[in-house]
Amino acid sequence: MTAEITSLIESLRSDSASQRQEAASELLSFGPDAAPAAVALVEAADSDSETCDLVTAALEDLGPPAAEMLTPLAAILQRPSLDSPYWAATLLGRLEADAAPAIGELITAAAEHPQLPVRQRAVWALGKIGPPAIAALETLEKISAEDDPRLSSLAGDSMAKIRA
């Protein structure tokens, strides 16, 4: 990781909204090269709305995170907020089968997270993991019977991918 990215990660964790926004803006300009800051970006998604918008744009440009980010991303799923857990699930889904060690956390988020978009994204991520997520089938079966049409549809799609 470059010294510049390390410095920007520290700024993302600042108490100052303007520092966080400046760091997020700079990381956005890095495009996919901002990947080493993925966890810090996800964590910063729960800050002020302007930072969240910049962080979201930066995260959209990133591909799958590095394998060593799996554990901190899985831990973020437990937060009751919306944005950070949503993006943690998104990045875990981008890891596909390599995210298998986070299946337990994704199952919990899919079944219990207080934010519906996070539940939806966790269900999506389980489908992206595919057959290694076989332990999620019972939970996904229950979720497929829920009232939210999007959540139910995602559960059905994920079950099909896991059974493939």
How many Cβ atoms sit within 10 Å of the Cβ of residue 125?
Answer: 30
29 and 7 within one domain: yes
Q: What is the CATH number of the domain that holds 130?
A: 1.25.10.10
Q: What is the per-residue pLDDT for 119?
A: 98
95 and 24 within one domain: no
Q: Dihedrals φ, ψ of 147, to 5°?
A: -75, -30
Domain total in the chain: 2
Q: Where are the alpha helices (DSSP H) in the chain?
A: 3-12, 17-30, 38-44, 49-60, 70-76, 83-94, 103-112, 116-129, 137-144, 149-163
- Average pLDDT, stretch 70-74? 98
Domain coverage including residue 15 = 1-63
Q: What is the per-residue pLDDT for 110?
A: 98
Q: What is the per-residue pLDDT for 127?
A: 98
19 and 5 within one domain: yes
Q: pLDDT by residue (tens digit) across 46-64?
A: 999 999 999 999 999 998 9
For residue 118, pLDDT beyond 80: yes
- Average pLDDT, stretch 24-44? 95
Closest C-alpha to 105, from 89, 90, 120: 89
19 and 83 within one domain: no
Q: What is the per-residue pLDDT for 1?
A: 76
Assign 39 a pLDDT band (cuts: 50, 70, 90): very high
Q: Dihedrals φ, ψ of 30, to 5°?
A: -75, -20
56 and 73 within one domain: no
Last residue of some domain: 47, 63, 79?
63
Last residue of some domain: 29, 63, 97?
63
Phi-psi region of 146 (alpha: psi -120 to 50; beta: other; left: phi over 0): beta
115 and 47 within one domain: no
Name, in order, each residue with C-beta under 8 angstroms of 147's C-beta and a sequence gap of 6 or more.
none
84 and 12 within one domain: no
> Distance between CA 121 and CA 59 in Å, rounded?
15
Name, in order, each residue with C-beta under 8 angstroms of 54's C-beta and a sequence gap of 6 or more.
21, 24, 25, 28
